[in-house]
Structure 1
Amino acid sequence: MQTLTLYTNPNSRGRVVRWLLEELKVPYQIKVLEYGADMKSADFLALNPMGKVPVITHGDVVVTEAAAICAYLADHFADKQLAPATNSPMRATYYRWLFFAAGPVEMATSAKAYDWRIDAENAPAVGSGFYQNTVDALETALQHGPYLCGEQFTAADVYVGSQIIWGMMFKTLEERPAFTQYSERLQAREAAIRANQLDDALQA
């Protein structure tokens, strides 16, 4: 069996991957890196030249970027059914919202957090466009079921849900009823509770 290792920090997007790993219920190891010297060490930069977590190694495979890690793990452990079947129309929905959160949502919420200028002059060139349009589009993703792919909970819910939960926590995303109800459903999942407990213990 290939060893699966998550390089993380409890104050990072590594929490997203931890949650997914707990949903998958597969064996994995944790390596906690501190910000600064640990993440900028030669050994870690060989895995991720950005010097950031999360990173996973799975045997000889290295995957960086939380959304990519989620997609990889859901595909590799396909028997866990955390991604729609490749021949299902929902597969497109799954990809759509997973990468919408990694692109426009990440950009829009970062711009709001740091007061970056997005206006009529530059919005057409910015991946998120106007903040309000991004938030409105995200809300439409939640209209067709308890989860992004209807009745099926997927890795996209882990990633998109994390963005929504953190966005509302840090006031970079409006607290709309659709977002709060979705967040409550996700945070009540056993794997989400367990993952948070594990990372909170590391934080302490």
Structure 2
Amino acid sequence: MSNLVQLYGPSFSVFVRVAALVCEEKGIAYQTGKEINGQTIDIHSDKHFQLHPFGKMPVLIHGDKILCETASIGRYLDRIFGPETLQGATDWERAQIDQWCSLITQYIDFYVVRQFMLEVVFPKGDSGEPRMDVISANRPAAENAIAIVAEQLGDKPFLVGQQFTLADAMLAPMLTYNKDAPAPINLVNAHPKLLEYTNRLRARPSGQKVLQPMSKSR
């Protein structure tokens, strides 16, 4: 099987960035974008839905294997390109990492990115302006989600335990995007330890490659 991993989806996508971070951490050769094995596949085309039944990203193509859903992709890459380094040293750590991968995917992303930040990134108001009433209405839930992450981090160097894990990879793109966001939606800066953690994630060699501001990653 080829060592090249193909990640279907744009490099600025939050979850494509998660998979790319895993590849960087593991030293895996990879590429991102809409081209798979030399063929361009348009987003939400019939071929895209053949790769992911709900038309989401990323999708991993590795030889003849196709895998969707970000946490599953991360676990697969960590195992196949072993030894495993991103899933904890004990059964309890592994369970906590799985828990936080789920929480980040299902709730943190929803409240902070989908319901809050995207109103500024892709505004839906008249004349292409952000709807400030929507931002105000969704702000408490986004602030609560960020506060939950800050509480979990506490004084630890990483979200779960003492080592960088898949949970940190899942969280890093969301936090760096929020840190770079304008004042109306920037929540990370209100939590000094979370801000320090975000900066450390970006300073990692993998973060320097992947966690660039959106304007530099297109």
Q: What is the TM-score of this pair, normalised by structure 2? A: 0.72
Q: Is residue 194 from structure 1 mapped to residue 209 from structure 2 by the alignment?
A: yes
2:172 to 161, 166, 186: 161
1:67-78 superposed matches below 5 A: 67-78=71-82
Aligned to 2:161: 150
Unaligned 5+ segments in structure 1 are 120-128
Distance 1:201 1:150, change over 3 A: same
Aligned to 1:17: 19
Task: Report the residue type matching 1:98 in the other structure.
Answer: C
Matched length: 190
- CA distance in 2 between counterparts of 1:184 and 1:31 reads 24
1:175-194 superposed matches below 5 A: 175=189, 176-194=191-209
Secondary structure class of the residue paired with 1:82: coil
Aligned to 1:122: none
| Structure (1/2) with the larger helix percentage | 2
Question: Percent identity between the aligned chains?
Answer: 26
Aligned to 2:97: 94
Task: Report the residue type matching 1:64 in the other structure.
Answer: C
Q: Could you say what the CA RMSD is over the residues aligned between the two structures, in angstroms?
A: 3.1
| More displaced 10-residue stretch of structure 1: 153-162 or 163-172 | 163-172
1:105 to 105, 108, 119: 108
Distance 1:194 1:184, change over 3 A: same
Task: Report the residue type matching 2:85 in the other structure.
Answer: Q
- CA distance in 1 between counterparts of 2:49 and 2:86 reads 30
Cα deviation digits, residues 127-186 of structure 1 (max 9, x gap): xx9444322211122115211222211121111122211223232534211221001111
4+ residue runs of structure 1 moved beyond 6 angstroms?
199-202
- CA distance in 2 between counterparts of 1:131 and 1:52 reads 22
Unaligned 5+ segments in structure 2 are 36-40, 120-133
- CA distance in 2 between counterparts of 1:183 and 1:118 reads 23
Contact 2:59 2:67 in 1 (8 A): yes
Task: Report the residue type matching 1:10 in the other structure.
Answer: S
Aligned to 2:123: none
1:135-146 superposed matches below 5 A: 135-146=146-157
Q: What is the TM-score of this pair, normalised by structure 1? A: 0.77
- CA distance in 1 between counterparts of 2:54 and 2:155 reads 37
Secondary structure class of the residue paired with 1:56: strand
> 1:22 offset after TM fit, Å?
0.9
Task: Report the residue type matching 2:8 in the other structure.
Answer: Y
> 1:189 offset after TM fit, Å?
0.7
- CA distance in 1 between counterparts of 2:23 and 2:159 reads 19
Contact 1:108 1:134 in 2 (8 A): yes
Contact 2:12 2:217 in 1 (8 A): no
| More displaced 10-residue stretch of structure 1: 138-147 or 62-71 | 62-71
